[in-house]
Amino acid sequence: MGALSLILKHPGDIIPLYRVKCMADQAKKLPKEPNLRFCYHMLNLVSRSFAIVIQQLPHELQDAVCVFYLVLRALDTVEDDMSIPDTPKCKELEIFWKKIYDPKYTYPCGEKHYKVLMDEYPKVTAVFLSLKKEYQEVIADITKRMGEGMSNFIKREVVTLEDWDEYCHYVAGLVGIGLSNLWANSMLEDKRIADMEELSNAMGLFLQKTNIIRDFLEDYVDGRTWWPREIWGQYGATLADFQDARNRRAAVHCLNHMVTNALQHAVDSLDYMGRLRHKWVFRFCAIPQVMAIATLYECFDNEEVF
Ligand code: D99
């Protein structure tokens, strides 16, 4: 079906779609200051959808969240680069949080946009150092905990449900926790939001698990899947079995089990969002959650995931 006929089937979507288009155009306008300009330029290259969503935030938080995002993407780039041997990779992941204060620090790795981000990293550092101390401390604390967790999982496989939640906590739950600390420090939200670590964690876990489910094929082709054996082991002897058309029924049952597991975090994520007071903070948080629910809806019982 063409885009136009899809819209005509849902005429109520025309105004919201137009508003999103205006937001997307807005996101393409870059600030004048060169370092800040680089940060928003990178954000647009790495994640269009996030560049749009970040526009929802009040100005002061926008820059802090943009830098937070890029620092985490840089850490991710180190984790993802399969050409770095385990020993130096683990060391770099563990010390990265100290390096974000070093105006000269770069660690060339990654591909395409990520390579540019790593090569030009001092521009991110310059903006980081211009943020309020309270914001810098939150970003450094989360980067430290995430780097240590990632390093630990370099040599460890995701086997049990506990492993899966732990891995997702490091790479995504901590993002939710960091954001809650940014909201609390900005005074836009109640200080107590920073103490709700379980609910903040669930915001990240729900998004991360949804991505892991949706990206099964892409990750499988790259030789690294994050589906926990405790689930897929109930439906097949190896993950390779799910690629065989004769095992499609078992594969789809496994997929549905994965979706059901991810959905468990929806309750806490709704509880978290119910506690937000600031309209723009709420939108920034709610848009990705709504997109994740729609993604799980598409994936459920859908063999095309494989
Ligand atoms: C994220 N996550 O929006 Cl977790 C990352 N894409 O998915 Cl600061 C960093 O990376 C921050 O399709 C915030 O364009 C978030 C979440 C978030 C959380 C908690 C509360 C509120 C918001 C994202 C951002 C988008 C992203 C999507 C992109 C392709 C590349 C990856 C696209 C979530 C996380 C940590 C699971 C990646």
Annotate 29-55 with b (16+ C-beta within 10 A) or e (fewer).
eeeeeebbebbbbbbbebeeebbbbbb
Annotate 129-149 with b (16+ C-beta within 10 A) or e (fewer).
eebeeebbebbbebbbbbbeb
Q: What is the pTM of this model?
A: 0.95
Tell which atom from ligand 1 comes closest to the C-alpha of 171. 35
Given pLDDT bands bounded at 50, 70 and 90, which one contains residue 240? very high
Q: Is 214 a catalytic residue?
A: yes
Mutate to test the pocket of ligand 1, among 47, 55, 213, 275 (most ligand atoms within 8 A of CB): 47
Name the region of 81 (left: φ>0; alpha: ψ -120 to 50; beta: rest): beta
pLDDT averaged over every residue in the chain:
95
pLDDT by residue (tens digit) across 192-226?
999 999 999 999 999 999 999 999 999 999 888 89
Kindly state the percentage of the chain with pLDDT values over 70. Answer: 100
Report the length, in residues, of the chain: 306
Q: Is the pLDDT of residue 1 over 70?
A: no
Measured in Å, residue 207 CA sits from the centre of ligand 1 at: 7
Q: Are 120 and 38 in contact (CB under 8 A)?
A: yes
| Residue of minimum CA distance from atom 27 in ligand 1 | 47
**Angle, CA 78 vertex, CA 186 and CA 216 arms, to 5°:** 90
Tell which atom from ligand 1 comes closest to the C-alpha of 211. 36
| Residue of minimum CA distance from atom 3 in ligand 1 | 288
Mean pLDDT value of segment 45-49: 92
Measured in Å, residue 24 CA sits from the centre of ligand 1 at: 17
Q: How far apart are the first and last CA of the chain?
A: 23
Kindly state the percentage of the chain with pLDDT values over 90. Answer: 87
Q: Is 167 a catalytic residue?
A: yes
Tell which atom from ligand 1 comes closest to the C-alpha of 172. 35
Measured in Å, residue 165 CA sits from the centre of ligand 1 at: 17
pLDDT by residue (tens digit) across 4-24?
887 888 889 899 889 888 888
Q: Is the pLDDT of residue 130 over 80?
A: yes
Measured in Å, residue 190 CA sits from the centre of ligand 1 at: 23
Burial class (CB in 10 A: 0-12, 13-18, 19+), 15: exposed
Mean pLDDT value of segment 124-145: 98
Measured in Å, residue 30 CA sits from the centre of ligand 1 at: 21
Q: Is 249 a catalytic residue?
A: no
pLDDT at 281: 96
Q: Is 145 a catalytic residue?
A: no
pLDDT by residue (tens digit) across 98-127?
999 999 999 999 999 999 999 999 999 999
Measured in Å, residue 50 CA sits from the centre of ligand 1 at: 7
Of these residues, 156, 224, 248, 277, which one is catalytic? Answer: 224
Of these residues, 214, 229, 275, 283, which one is catalytic? Answer: 214
pLDDT at 56: 82
The closest of 19, 58, 23, 14 to 281, measured between CA atoms, is: 58
CB of 176 closer than 6 A to ligand 1? yes
